[in-house]
Structures are given as structure tokens and as C-alpha cells.
Amino acid sequence: MRKGEMTRAAILDVALELASRDGLEGLTIGLLADKMNMSKSGVFAHFGSREDLQIEVLKLYHHRFEQEVFYPSLKEARGMVRLRGMYARWIKRVSVEIASGCIYISGAVEYDDRPGPIREELVAMVRAWQQALLRCVELAIDCGDLRPDTDASQLVYEMYGLILALHHDARFLRTPGSVERAKAGFERLMKDYQNPQQRA
């Protein structure tokens, strides 16, 4: 990488850390410049505007989410194995983010009623992840691991609900055992939706 690219990457790393902690709206050029020991104009030279910076932070977060959760799961066998792997990696990532914060979740709170490019980018990313989950569930139905009458959209909704509850109880309420409850909830879902012919 060239020096300019390395500087830009370093700025984004710090910006992602700040946004995870303070939210995308808490991310300012001034704060970032202080953290990087740079001038505001130096930061602006790499991103042009605060909104551009926020969108680039979103893209970096999404890229890392895909690298940690989505792509490794694609290497696993289709069906229940992949679905379990995907959820396990998702839980693992959220468990780490209990301390730092999840930009998908905090962003939804910040931008649920604020139209604009940042909201559009965030919505597109979350929908892409939900579509990936939906496809994974549909494949599990097709290969016979889940019941033929499984409502794939409903299952994805319930899985997402478990993750939101985990983030809420662990990060906001600081309730012990929240991760274990999220795992237990998923196992209950799998038991309910599993194809009886696949049970031992």
C-alpha cells in the first residue's frame, strides 16, 4: 500500500472504533483528527466530508462482518451445518461487540427516522445480511434438514430477534448469561423447525 492508502486505512480503523463506541453521529472530523494527531484538513483530504467518512466506516464494518461471519460459513456444507455455523459466528461477533457496540444495531437507532445516504447504505447492508440468512434457511429446507413447511422468512425474523435481544440484555441491561440464552433460543428454534425425518 502507498503511504496515502495506509494513512487512509489507519484513519478508518480509528473511525470505526469511535463509531462503534459513540455511534456514527458521534464521529466527527475534529475528534478523529485529535485521535490521529492530524489536522482537520489532513483528515478531510482523505474523505472530503463527514458523511463520506461515515459511509466509508459503514463499508469497512460490513466488509469485516462478511469476512468473519458470512464467507467462512459458505465453506461449510449446505443445510443445518451451514446455518448453525453462520449463527455461531454471528453470536461470536456480537459477543465481542457487547463491549464495543454493533454499528448495525446502533445505526438502526440513530437513522431509523433520518432519510439520507447513510440510512440508505445501512439499510442495504442489513437487508443483504438478512437475504444471506434467508438463502441459508431455504437451502436447509431444500436439502431436507428443515421441515418442508418451514416459513423461511419467519425463521430469519426469529433468529434476528434473538440477536437483538442478546445485544439489548448484554450491552444495555448487562444481564449475565445473555449469550447462553441466545444460543439456547437458537437450539429451540432448530428443534421446532427440524425435519422429523432427519431426527435420530
On whether residue 89 sits in a domain, the answer given is yes
Confidence of residue 200 (pLDDT cuts 50, 70, 90): very low
Closest of 137, 142, 146 to residue 197, by C-alpha: 146
Boundaries of domain holding 108: 57-198
On whether residue 4 sits in a domain, the answer given is no
Q: Please tell me the predicted confidence (pLDDT) of residue 199.
A: 52
On whether residue 19 sits in a domain, the answer given is no
Q: What is the pLDDT of residues 92-122, one digit of tens each?
A: 999 988 888 889 998 999 999 999 999 999 9
On whether residue 47 sits in a domain, the answer given is no
Alpha-carbon span 146 to 196, nearest angstrom: 8
Contacts of 94 (CB under 8 A, 6+ apart): 102, 163, 166, 167, 182
On whether residue 25 sits in a domain, the answer given is no
Cα dihedral sign for 128, 134, 139, 140?
A: positive
On whether residue 30 sits in a domain, the answer given is no
Q: What is the pLDDT of residues 25-55, one digit of tens each?
A: 989 888 899 999 999 888 888 888 889 999 9
DSSP secondary structure, 25-73, as one string = GG--HHHHHHHHT--HHHHHHHHSSHHHHHHHHHHHHHHHHIIIIIHHH
Alpha-carbon span 165 to 171, nearest angstrom: 10
Cα dihedral sign for 91, 92, 98, 104?
A: negative
Give the CA-trace dihedral at 105, 107, 108, 113, to 10 degrees. Answer: 160
Alpha-carbon span 123 to 111, nearest angstrom: 9
Alpha-carbon span 126 to 78, nearest angstrom: 22
On whether residue 174 sits in a domain, the answer given is yes
Alpha-carbon span 61 to 67, nearest angstrom: 10
Alpha-carbon span 174 to 67, nearest angstrom: 28
User: Residue 187 corresponds to which cell in the numbers above?
Assistant: 437450539
Question: What CATH number does residue 65 fall under?
Answer: 1.10.357.10
Q: What is the pLDDT of residues 71-86, one digit of tens each?
A: 999 999 999 999 999 9
Give the CA-trace dihedral at 153, 57, 117, 165, to 10 degrees. Answer: 30
Instruction: Write down the mean pLDDT value for the chain.
Output: 93
On whether residue 33 sits in a domain, the answer given is no
**Model pTM?**
0.90
The count of structural domains within the chain is 1
Residue 1 has pLDDT above 80, yes or no: no
Cα dihedral sign for 22, 25, 31, 33?
A: positive
